[in-house]
Amino acid sequence: MKRVFDFMLAGLLIAVLSACGKQAGTESAADNGTESSVLAENSETAEQTKISCVEKGAEHIMDKEKTQDQEGTAMTEDISSHFETKTVRLNSGYEMPIYGIGTYSLTGEVCVDSVTAALDSGVRLIDTAYMYHNEESVGEAVRNSGIPREEIFVITKMYPNQFSDPEAAIEEALTKLDIDYIDMMLLHHPGEGDVESYLAMEKAVRDGKIRSVGLSNWYIEELEEFLPQVNIMPALVQNEIHPYYQENDVIPYIQSLGIVVQGWYPLGGRGHTAELLGDEVISEIAAAHGKTSAQIILRWNLQKGVVVIPGSSNPDHIQENTELFDFELSREEMERINALDRGEKHDWY
């Protein structure tokens, strides 16, 4: 068996060499903690690029070999095994809560009040973005909370219309948030200049401005093209995930790389939430547990290893969305919800 595994490793190394050779011969590419970086800071020649890429591939293969003695063990930490601490350790070395609040469409005082209510309810993960136009409000709520800064994890995102000057985008986010540093910055979705923008975020990690970096709306093909061009493995990928759009092929792929998966629109998104919460299967499971449909869906995500960031401006709903750890869905219940997948995406990216 070991000879077969060794042969497979050799084949994988040959594939890596071939892929890296192609990368090194291409002069133009598509557009954390530093301990997770496995490449040199810059590959200025084709040969350097090839060597660095081989090292990355070899390291990834070695990591796979280490897990062979633990059959069925994921290559990233399973967040469901962290329900007591309610955090997961990222590949950047930092701890991140496994549930939080999304702030899409929340602006001004509504955003400040919503984030404040979330923090008062024990939420310590806040998701914002340049395109949400509320980074100032999120920062205000964090600063005024009285909670030590290091206990709050703030994610923001750089939008493609900022990729032409990513350094300025990073500084703008730091200024608007005004919370000393950014826990995690994501590229909001693929676009021209995305690789260069990610490399700028890597530099911000080295400079202590950002602690972890990641991606939003990247799927298998996009990741396969993108990852060989960067130095720091993303700590997180954030995609649309809910019972009607489950990404059952994408989630395991991302997790196999040691990357945490986070789901936006966990309750289906605007215009679709009522249908999802009223789904007969989910409603039946909710009644059986004495829980709400929203709590069932969020718990389903968590048991699949997906971090959740439901959005709300209602303090009661915000509190409700934190009460996810006093019950467990059975395998049969998980399978019933899994069977609801329609491949139905509720936003364009």
Q: Is the dihedral of CA 310, 313, 317, 318 positive or negative?
A: positive
Name the 3-class secondary structure at 29.
coil
> In Å, what is the CA distance from 277 to each residue of 96, 216, 269, 282, 286?
27, 25, 11, 7, 10
The two tokens of residue 127 are: 């998701």
Element (H, E) at 109: helix 108-120
**Residue with the two structure tokens 């493609």:** 160
Candidates 132, 244, 245, 265; catalytic one:
132
Listed residue (293, 286, 298) closest to 325, CA to CA: 298
DSSP state string for 226-246:
HGGG-SBPPSEEEEE-BTTB-
Using the 8-state DSSP alphabet, how is residue 164 labeled?
Answer: T
Q: Is 306 helix (H, G, I), strand (E, B) or coil?
A: strand
Check if 181 is active-site: no
**Whole-Å CA distances, 151 to 76, 113, 184:** 23, 19, 14
Cβ 187 vs Cβ 158: under 8 Å? yes
The one-character DSSP state at 180 is S
Kindly state the helix (H) or strand (E) to which residue 95 belongs, with its residue range: strand 95-97
CA–CA dist 326, 151 (Å, integer)? 23
Residues 142, 154: contact at Cβ < 8 Å?
A: yes
Catalytic machinery residues? 132
